[in-house]
Chain A
């Protein structure tokens, strides 16, 4: 496979507003990438374009050598690309177990890749996200922290190769962030490719190997966390011109 995830000059306009302009980057299999930017930079829009929830105004998205610009989210799940939502969107009236099992149920052809029975597979995921003790609870009764974990768990149901996480740390306490970071690190260690949109840079920078920065719908930087945190354009975007001049 030569092209795992390639984003080729994506434009997305909402009316006259250009939410994304000329975004291009590629992600190799097994990478752990962060996608950051100030509020309104277009991170979530880009996410929605990649995962098929929005159609790009122009440009191309390629996943596993296939053009997926016109694909639907459910088709992408079948291909092995799954996303999570920033604000948890569980199936509230289903149990925690079933929330995860749904993904395995509707992607049976992907399940051949595990050597586990669907039941064992679901249990392993639940243990991985530390929700096994809650498995028979209705998802609607979980607390916020557990719902964030369930987002990650549910997204593993279809056995993805590429997992896109929309602000997995949002609204969590420091210890919760650390435990979710640990879970994500574990997934990455198993070879899963992760793209993470995040606001909490301090935690994210510790987790990822590479960072892509968006600002006003444009890509302004792409590199390893150390370089990014010293990049003048990034500092300007986050902290304003004066700060970056005096401290650069």
Chain B
């Protein structure tokens, strides 16, 4: 569990218990069978919304095809009764398994896509399944009655029992969702949603976490679908795989509040009774009124309160209290950094590294090495290939040829998060933060990425925050930091994973003289602690003070390497920076 999760989870569990008991008491007073059905459907659609929320709310992977999983659950339960005489008590778990399996099959190709391509592709799956089912002749399948032993087949004469089961299923789903939200799983998803590359560079295996969230989500959706089929008895491809079904999950969650466990519950509790009542009252002469209401609801919510009702209400009337203070673990109990540097031992060795974009050789035959404990400055004019070099080392883009080894282990050909786990921290030219997460969570992502346990992760995070001097900003959202603080926070995120090597991409860019000095101070202190640093920088005076050695790049090639003084006096370096004429005039 994450820092401070305990009390929050306890509060949420209590609230959940109170709400579900109140809901069940309410059902005792309802005798109209149609309203009883609505009371059963509210938790079913809420559960479906909760499942969508895990993938699309927390993880930001917008799915318009969640009906795939819902429908798979529904058809599994129905067909299992029809063909094998399998009770829904077993059919629903079976549907859940198939839902999870479908999630893996769908996720494997589809997670190669991002953004709206992902959303559009997800849309295609339920529709393709829908047509196939129609072709196979499953236009309308109903669950046969088993009058002999009704309870074994989940057939109750008392409709409130269905409501009870629905509420229990929903409680299960919400508990899963709460646990995810308060664990590293949820944090990984939030980080991926806000900045996938930064999450990868901090050691988060984005693909894996996305896949896990899809599997959990798919299983949950299949349970909702399976139970829905049992309640309604009849399934048609349109009623469980149709567009309106996928929309249902999106609508209740967005309306209630995205990325909050309560969102889908609020959305379903308001919209499902509303739409059902309208359908019942006006459906005969206004068919499709339900869809119109949903359409208006999501447009209105998107324009008026884009994050949903829960967040708007909370922000307006229930300002969250200040977050728990930083635990007092520092710096004595924090684990010492692993190996202190052994001077002279080569840490990073790059040989003949090349990478071209079409005809442009961005990095060409670059070789250099960094000793442990050293600060190497990489300088060069704009377009010299400095950032590309980092991207290649970091696994963001593949190299064309050459090799790079970290302490004898090859780095190339690994994914970004794997490179991070080898002990390479990275910051970016344009800061990549998770703007809506507090600084503490931003930094702890780096510790989790390195695979630390919850306790060690907190300790490493606190220590990193102290190292860069951000301990007082720990609970501030990253979006509210100044440029300098953002740079330091990114540095702390890289440090939290106990890197052996830091790749810093223009950490000083855009900083004023004084800010620059204070960041330099932090870097100098890191050097004293034995961190090896490779830094890209334009500001020459800063580099002269900081770096032990320079590598000068120009047009993708290494122009010169050596001690700072020697390099800045090198004629070809001056030429690259200031031009031939300037050099000629100097000599004249």
Q: Do A and B bind each other?
A: no
Instruction: Give me the interface of B with A, judged by CB distance under 8 Å.
Output: none
Interface residues, chain A, with chain B CB atoms under 8 Å away: none
